Structure 1
Amino acid sequence: MNEASQRTEPVESGQADPGPYDGASPILLQPAAAKRANATVIGMLVAVLLCLVLALPLAFFTAKPNGQSYRPDVDVTAAANDAKGVAGFTPAAPQLPDGWSVNYARWNKAGSDGVAFWEIGYVTPSQQFIALTQTAQPNPTWLAGRTDNAAVTGERTESGSNWELRDKPGTSTSLILTAATTVVLRGEFSNGAVPLTDLDALALSVVKALPEAGGR
């Protein structure tokens, strides 16, 4: 076999024959291959920048003003009407004072304690949380659980209706109304103490909403 048949690729003038790749020497990209690699990287960067440009306006327009958290649109009256048939009593759907909002309104089936109840979650203007719970089947154990085993510390009167006050410092403060049904208003301390004025305001709204409590 002559020398011409052994070499399939010509060697340009002035360049040494690289010989076979030994697996250790670095591989040098030819200018055309390097250009293609750079173009791919640049294309990826441009695509990322375009995604960011498209996402920023969406984030801007969906941001809540003044740092307010999202508040769901809960129709308490509709939920109360739906629950009335299974509850066996009129679920309270009090009118909210200005600045209040509702997180949820739902009917809860009886659990192991045998107590089914209507429940609404309120957020006060100062971003405190108060849960309203109403049932026709209360028992001492259930009431203790709904009020964090708080001790009875007094009584408050709202528009002629007497509410029992229970307080567990650092945990919760509750008002309990006992009439044809039992209503519990429990204010949590998760974001500071719930003022009694907020509990009083909600209790007054409950009294107005429930004929059994003396409301009109």
Structure 2
Amino acid sequence: MTSTEPEQSAAPSAGVRRPPRRQSVSGIVLTMLVVGGFALGLWALVPRQSGIPQPAVDVGQAASGLQDQLGFAPAVPTPGPGWTATSTSAEAGVDGVQTWRVNYATPKGSWVSLVQGREATRKWEGVQVIDGAEQGTVAVDGRTFVVRARPDRQLTGYVLRDGEVTTMFVGKASRAEIEALVRATPLR
């Protein structure tokens, strides 16, 4: 059988062209948006903490047995609900001053430290308040404290120079919170 019709080839003719793939860029962008939306959705579902959780510290237990090391009985504040002791330390500080430190998170989310030093020097005291200048005095529970502050760092310190032991309350908390810790601290 012979045919007079020309055979049709399987290949498209040279005159028919496929359209360029302009949709590939928009497809990539659309895919990225879908994946980004999915990732954002997962991120929104994952619970996050507002801060690093700190285990509560037993200040009384930490202070027990330190009198011989420090050369004085360290104060143990009992500030009440909302206050969390975050750390304690007993060590030789600047100028070899034996130092007891208790750091607290306040109910309003700030911090205050009780710092005590035996035979404290002015240099030791200055380090505790980042060389904050003296700004007068304040009376709390019948005791007169020297106020030292660094307003540029929102740092306030109450200093009680009482014989061999200097006691300081230093922090970025309000004066009301600092004074609350002062009242909660039995001083000899």
Common fold by TM > 0.5: yes
Deviation at 1:68, TM superposition (A): 6.2
Corresponding residue number in structure 2 for 1:101: 84
Matching of residue 85 in structure 1 with residue 85 in structure 2:
no
Percent of residue pairs identical: 25
Distance in 1 (alpha carbons) for counterparts of 2:99 and 2:78: 20
Report the Cα offset of residue 203 of structure 1. Answer: 1.0
Q: Deviations over 1:8-57 (max 9, x none)?
A: xxxxxxxxxxxxxxxxxxxxxxxxxxxxxxxxxxxxxxxxxxxxxxxxxx
Q: What corresponds to 1:186 in structure 2?
A: 170
Offset at residue 170 of structure 1 (A): 2.6
**What is the aligned residue count?**
141
Alignment of 1:1-216 (within 5 A): 67=50, 69-110=52-93, 113-171=95-153, 172-180=155-163, 181-188=165-172, 194-206=173-185, 209-210=186-187, 212=188
Alignment partners' CA distance in 2, 1:68 and 1:96: 22
Provide the rounded CA distance (Å) in 1 between the counterparts of 2:144 and 2:177: 16
Unaligned runs of 5+ in 1: 1-58, 189-193
SS in 1 for 2:159: strand
TM superposition shift of 1:97: 2.8
Unaligned runs of 5+ in 2: 1-45
1:186 is paired with a residue whose SS is strand
Partner of 1:25: none
How far apart are 1:115 and its partner, in Å? 1.2
Q: Scaled by the length of structure 1, what TM-score is found?
A: 0.60
Structure ranking higher on relative contact order (CA contacts 8 Å, 6+ apart): 2
More helix by share: 1
- Give TM-score, length-normalised by structure 2: 0.69
Structure-2 change in CA distance of 1:110 and 1:174 (3 Å): closer
Partners of 2:87 and 2:103 within 8 A in 1: yes
CA contact (8 A) 1:154 1:164 kept: yes
1:96, distance to aligned residue in structure 2 (A): 1.5
State the alpha-carbon separation in 2 of the partners of residues 79 and 128 from structure 1. 22
The CA RMSD measured in Å over matched residues stands at 1.8
- Indicate if the aligned counterparts of 1:97 and 1:201 stay in contact, CA closer than 8 A: no
| 2: CA distance, partners of 1:142 / 1:110 | 7
* Alignment partners' CA distance in 2, 1:157 and 1:146: 20
Matches of 1:80 and 1:105 in 2, distance apart?
Answer: 8
TM-fit CA distance, 1:140: 0.9
Aligned twin of 2:4: none
